[in-house]
Structure 1
Amino acid sequence: MNIPSFHLNGKVALVTGGSKGIGYGMAHALGHYGATLVISSRGREEGEYAVSQLKKEKIEASYLPCDVTKKDQVEALVGQIVEQHGSLDILVNNAGMNIRKPLPEVEESDWDTVLDVNLKGIFLAGQAAAKQMIKQKYGKIINISSILGSVGMPFQTSYAASKGGINQLTKVWADELAPYNITVNAIGPGYISTPMTKEWLSDPERSEKIINSTMIKRIGETSDLVGPVVFFASDTSKYVTGQVLNVDGGWTAR
């Protein structure tokens, strides 16, 4: 039996929003398994610092700035990657943000901001990557969703809507791109300890409630996403597409 490898040697991977938090953790994992990394984000200083840290571990990485809500910037980003590296094999479609407010207080601008980054940005990056992957007849698209794409929680109107949209995009793209040897899957993290969630999790009562909602009884760490992202990025998952894998300590299984 031919057993596929988890190694990503020779593969070129783009991680949007890869300079910190979940994005950085997944970028580090892909680099550790041999991928040539490109990290993109809006913050050049953070992006270049992230690359410097990766290079200290002998991981081949570079930074390219991009606002994923701007179609011209996203298309230019993919073009630069292909020009520099010859291909784009893996997209970790991760860039995202949140504005937490009770429903009556959600401004139209709040909704637009979150949906622009979390859903339009996912669409634009996925579309640009797919165009290249179709030419290659190969690709791995990994959309970063959330458990809030499938369960409800207060104060998450725009965020949950965006993540539910990502889950549906994942299924549609998987069906559409399968003839081109492109798989499309999503990872739905539960609460992971990152700079974006630090303030939210600093409330002891809230943190305890979140912990008690999981079977494993702890907050997630970025290291908990290493296995899922490497699995979806490697050829070990070549018969898996259109799936949303919740990495949540058992939250959604209750």
Structure 2
Amino acid sequence: MEDFGRLFDLTGKRALVIGAGSGIGAASAQGLAAFGAQVWCADINDAAVEGVVKDLPGAEGLHFDIADASSSANVLSTLGTPDIVVSTPAINVRKRLAEVSDEEFDRVIEINLKGNFRVMRDFGRAMAANGGGSMIAFSSIRAQVVEPGQGVYAATKAGVLQMLKVLAAELGPQGVRANAIAPGVVETPLTAQIKNDQRWYEAYRDKTMLGRWAQPSEMVGAVVFLASEASSYVTGSYLVVDGGWLAADGRFTPPA
């Protein structure tokens, strides 16, 4: 008889959380540790990641710049291959497409798309050679629905989703699972511009079926699920955690 009580147990698993210094990344690191994983907390902000690590027994902080091509290789050569990788970093330039400069376009692509490509390529290759693993990256509801001012960001989030699907197809035979999590509106540093505009904040709040924004901690269930044996037959998926945003119609034109 199956021991279903241990489906979410991550004891003995090594998890790398990229972007663990704040927001969804910090919550993900805390959640994985709570279920028994040994967590490597990686972030470009060393002080922030050390603040997270001090409250997680056995966790280790790492400097990681997702825009630096050597970051993944440095982790692999120093610590070996993780069983679980969670990638959360993203930036946004809220401008209409006609106003986006080449430099702004390149900056968003470099972090959101190319950075995640390197993570998938380098850690996916290592996981495949190691006999398996779980690759989790954060996409967004913007991979499916858009609004003015979100063009480049939405393109990168759709790209992350499609790359994960390809990774799942290519590395599935080697035991590597690859899945995307798609948050809706979450109160994080990335959404500060919206939170500071009461009209905008309330419009987003009211668009959800639950009538509120999400907290970073509410992404943890999806992360632990996809990291654990509870999702052993789940790969190439797009797990939406959006309070019902995509399921309901509604219109709002933001000031961007």
Give how far 1:88 is off. 0.9
* Matching residue of 2:183: 189
* Matching residue of 2:99: 105
Is the contact made by 2:72 and 2:123 (CA closer than 8 Å) also made in structure 1? no
Distance 2:148 2:69 in 1: 32
Distance 1:151 1:5 in 2: 33
Give how far 1:198 is off. 2.4
Distance 1:75 1:150 in 2: 32
Give how far 1:224 is off. 1.1
- The correspondence of residues 106-185 of structure 1 with structure 2, limited to 5 A, is 106-185=100-179
Is the contact made by 2:82 and 2:127 (CA closer than 8 Å) also made in structure 1? yes
In structure 1, give the amino acid aligned to 2:22: K
Cα deviation per residue 1:173-212 (whole Å; 9 max; x = unaligned)?
Answer: 1111110111110000011011221232121111111112
The normalised TM-score by structure 1 is 0.93
In structure 2, give the amino acid aligned to 1:16: I
1:69 to 67, 70, 73: 67
2:58 to 38, 55, 60: 60
Q: List runs of 5+ in structure 1 lacking aligned partners.
A: none
* Matching residue of 2:79: 81
* Matching residue of 2:197: 203
Distance 2:76 2:233 in 1: 26
Cα deviation per residue 1:22-41 (whole Å; 9 max; x = unaligned)?
Answer: 11111110011111111111
* Matching residue of 2:253: none
Give how far 1:7 is off. 1.1
The normalised TM-score by structure 2 is 0.93
Cα deviation per residue 1:199-247 (whole Å; 9 max; x = unaligned)?
Answer: 3212111111111211111001112111100000001101011001111
Distance 1:14 1:34 in 2: 13
* RMSD, aligned CA: 1.2
Distance 1:150 1:107 in 2: 24
Matched, 1:20 2:38: no
Is the contact made by 2:43 and 2:62 (CA closer than 8 Å) also made in structure 1? yes
**Number of residues paired by the alignment?**
246
Give how far 1:69 is off. 1.7
Q: List runs of 5+ in structure 2 lacking aligned partners.
A: 249-256
Distance 1:181 1:130 in 2: 10
Question: 4+ residue runs of structure 1 moved beyond 4 angstroms?
Answer: none
Distance 1:38 1:219 in 2: 28
Is the contact made by 2:97 and 2:152 (CA closer than 8 Å) also made in structure 1? no
**Identity across the alignment (%):** 37
Cα deviation per residue 1:107-156 (whole Å; 9 max; x = unaligned)?
Answer: 11111111100111111011111122112211000011111111111111
Cα deviation per residue 1:51-75 (whole Å; 9 max; x = unaligned)?
Answer: 12x33xxx32111112112222221
Is the contact made by 1:93 and 1:126 (CA closer than 8 Å) also made in structure 2? no
Distance 1:26 1:72 in 2: 24
